[in-house]
Each structure stands twice: as structure tokens, then as C-alpha cells.
Structure 1
């Protein structure tokens, strides 16, 4: 795949970008607004294809979304195309736990004028919607959400945490290991097919908006903005299809929505 800058920027609704802090911020935020986080392929039994051409075709040309492996494969190609110095990381997801599991989350560390930034378009609902400066112990507030990094000496990791009313909530931890493509492919297979992964058995979607984010966990649609949070239970596959195209800007047809609906757990769910 040849990364076509003009087509990518058009997909994101952007003009030219350069290697500035402001444009790095814009790159992540606008990809998260234009291209939804979604795990429809794993839910329907498919391991996402991470070859650059397949990711480009799906996320850019076909108007679909993807989960972290796909989202950040595309983002990494964009970072290269625009000239940002970067390296991939494979993080251990914690989601509130005291320690992480397998290395199952792909993201990037970008070096910009001597400063390291976490750049991540693929963590879904609770993740940061813009790059974070990698400084331990410093609170960083972005778009009304507060994060920090802390050292976990026992694990040998830097842990990203989100501030909640109940306290600091650990999202994931990462170290200096430089993954190669085979590591990423193995993590992708684990995420898509392992019974310990949430992706083969639950619908998980998120897209950031100008005022907050919209997310979907199985049948529960959740909208966050400056006025608060609202939730709605989807009633059928037709309602799901409307959400896919309206809330998440995705090009899937009604037949795909019906196949997804048939895979969803019957019990009431909590929003992502």
C-alpha cells in the first residue's frame, strides 16, 4: 500500500499537517472522530487483516472502523507519512486491575523535540482522546478528562491512569520493549480469537465527537457530552443499523447489522 496523504486527510476532514505538537494533537483527535473504534470483525468470527493494504481499504476507502490493531496500524502509517519520529508499543491492559494481562494493546510513543508523547487512536471508550506527554506524576486534563502516568516498579511499566469519582483507574501499562510485526500479529490473533478476550463475544464501539463521545456495548448506546450522559437500549437490528450509520459513521449494511444482532448476549448490558 502506498499511503495517499490527500485521501487520508480527506477521510479525516483535514488540510495539510506538519510535525508540530498542535498537528500531532489534531492527527489523533480527528482520526478518532472520523473512524470509529469497533470490533465487528472479531465478533463475527474473523481475525482482522493487518496488512497495510487491507487496513487502508477497510478504514479509509470502505468507510468502516476497527479496533486498536487496525486503528493504530493506520495511525502508524500516518505518523510515518507526516514525518513524526515514533515507535510502537504493545501494552498490557489493566482496566482497573492491579496488574496487566498479555501484551494486547497497540499504541505509539512519539518523540517530538525531545519529549515523549503517548499517541493512541485505538483504546476505545475510556482512553485519552488526544496525545499525552509521558511524564510520571503529572495530572493532564484533556477535553474535560484527567489522566496521569505513574511508575509501577514491580511490573517495570509506566501505567496510564484515568481520574474517576472513585479514584485513579489504571487503563494499561507499557515498557521499553520494541515489538516486531510478528508480536503485533500474535496479539491481534489473541484479541480476535481468545476466549479470554472480550472482542469475540461482545460488541464494543466508540467514537469521539466535538463535545464528547458516543459508545456502544452490546445493546446499550451511551452518549457523553458537556450536558451529561444519556443511555438508550437498542431494540432490534434495524435500530442497530441506524446507530452504525448515524452515531458511528460506518458503512455497514442492514445484513451486517442483523448478523451482529444475532451474536449479541440476550441479557441487558452496560455501556462501554
Structure 2
């Protein structure tokens, strides 16, 4: 389903900095240890970004295009790209992977459309939420789904999944002393073609949060960072939020230093022009 047989697995593993117990991809197994290691390496290495949308370029979801961009060009991507790539890699390793569509809940009581792509991976009969594409608040590691309400520590960050009516599951993040909903998803299975439809809205509709706005994010071990427009936000586990304004002259250094993104000259010039136009 996820075109895992077409993926250059060695190149992907090199891109995310994955090393097995003996440093060879051949030792990968569809077990929980491998799932944790691949998920964590992916989220550490590949930034969340939607720069192609800002630059007015189509976002292709066929595996070759995603591999060329995120693996070989060492770019980042947003949820449809990130989780499609992760799904292909996990499928290639031998995992059972299915998709879900999620509804963002980070904007208060507003009811938003289902536009977020997540994965459910089954290991030894137990489902795990896997998500490399929710930006700086997203999980770094798989989150168990078989025990709703259980608190899961990932470094200095805490997550839990709670269950609502009709089998809806909600991923929550502890910020300071408060549990906050990140997104909710139903048991309905989504296929790659469903993400093509959601991607069309997210990359082109005027109401999409990605159109006309620079968004780059990274879920670090301790500090989570998000550059939205000119505002660089640093989120700490204790709930502390720091903000800094990034002008056009500092944009490229921040993209490189904080998010590991180095772009072609033509992209750099256009991004700086857009950033400067916000004055």
C-alpha cells in the first residue's frame, strides 16, 4: 500500500542517521525496538516544513518525489510527506501499517476539518500511534493505543491518549501542569489516495494554514522550536514559552542552525524576498 518495495531503504536509513546494533540495515526486524529506533531517528533528523507551499510549488506524494526531496535533497516536509515516507520504510521492514485522518485540536474550541495524516502500526497484535509529521508538539516516539489514559514519558515530555465516543482517540501533550489536546482521530482507515485529496486542500486552499505563511518546526529532545512567519517560538517541558522575531537577514542562519535546512540559491532568494515583504 505504501510503495515500500520502491524505497531506497539504505539511503533513508543514512538520511535519518539510523544505526542497528551492528550498524547494518539487514538486521532490521518488525519489532518494537526497531519501531522506536526508526521513529525517533526520523523525527530527530527531518524537520517539519511547508516551504514548497509558500513558494507556490505543488507538493507531490508519490514515493519517488518524496524520497527525492526528503532523503536525497535532505529537505523536510509536512505530515503527508513525512508519514508517507515513514510508512514506506516501516512497510519495507515488514511492519503492518495503516493510515488515519486526524482533526487538529490545538486551536481552542474551533472545529477544524480532518487534515492531518497519522499512522497506526501493529506490533505483536498491539496498535501504536506513529506520527513524524505534527511539528514541534508531536511525539518523538510511538505512543501505545491499547491502553487509553496511560501516561507515556518521552524524554522530558509526557503524552497520553484518551478515548471519546464512537472510538475516537485523542492525543494529548502535558504542557506545564495542563494536558492539552493535540488532535483526534477515528478508527476509519485512510489510504494514500485519501492523503492526496487532503494534501490538495492543505497546499492550495486560501483557508489552509500553510498557504502564504512560512512554517518550519522541529521536535527536539528538550526544546521544541517553531518558526511561523517571523516568530520563532521555543517551547519547554515546564510550559515556558520563549519568542524571538527573525528578520530577513537572520532567516537563512536560523533555518540552517536550528532546523538543519540548507536550500538552493533560487529558493533562498525567493524566501528572503517573501520574508522581507512582510515589513
Q: With structure 1 as the length reference, what TM-score do the two structures score?
A: 0.88
Aligned partner of residue 247 in structure 1, secondary structure = helix
Pairwise CA RMSD: 2.3
Q: Which consecutive residues of structure 1, in runs of 5 or more, have no partner in the other structure? A: 268-272
**SS in structure 2 at match of 1:125:** helix
Matched position secondary structure for 2:210: coil
Q: Give the structure 1 partner of residue 90 of structure 2.
A: 79
Instruction: Measure, in 2, the Cα distance between the counterparts of 1:51 and 1:31.
Output: 19
Structure 1 partner of 2:247: 235
Matched, 1:101 2:105: no
Distance in 1 (alpha carbons) for counterparts of 2:193 and 2:17: 33
Where 2:259 maps in the other structure, the secondary structure is coil
Matched, 1:162 2:173: yes
Contact kept? 1:96, 1:170, Cα under 8 Å = no
Q: Could you tell me how far 1:252 is from its partner in structure 2? A: 0.6
- 2:30 corresponds in structure 1 to 19
How many residues are matched?
265
Tell me if 1:141 matches 2:145.
no
Superposition deviation, residue 156 in structure 1:
4.8
Aligned counterpart, 2:22: none
Secondary structure of the 2:86 match is helix
Work out the CA distance in 2 between the residues paired with 1:158 and 1:7: 34
Deviation at 1:112, TM superposition (A): 0.8
* Contact 1:44 1:260 (C-alpha < 8 Å) held by counterparts: yes
The structure 2 residue matched to 1:194, chosen from 198, 205, 223, is 205
1:246, distance to aligned residue in structure 2 (A): 2.2
Identify the match of residue 112 of structure 1 among 117, 120, 123: 123
Q: Normalising by the residue count of structure 2, what TM-score does the alignment of the two structures yield?
A: 0.86
TM-fit CA distance, 1:223: 4.2
CA distance in 2, matches of 1:43, 1:96: 21
Structure 1 residues 55, 246: CA separation in 2 closer, same or farther (over 3 Å shift)?
same
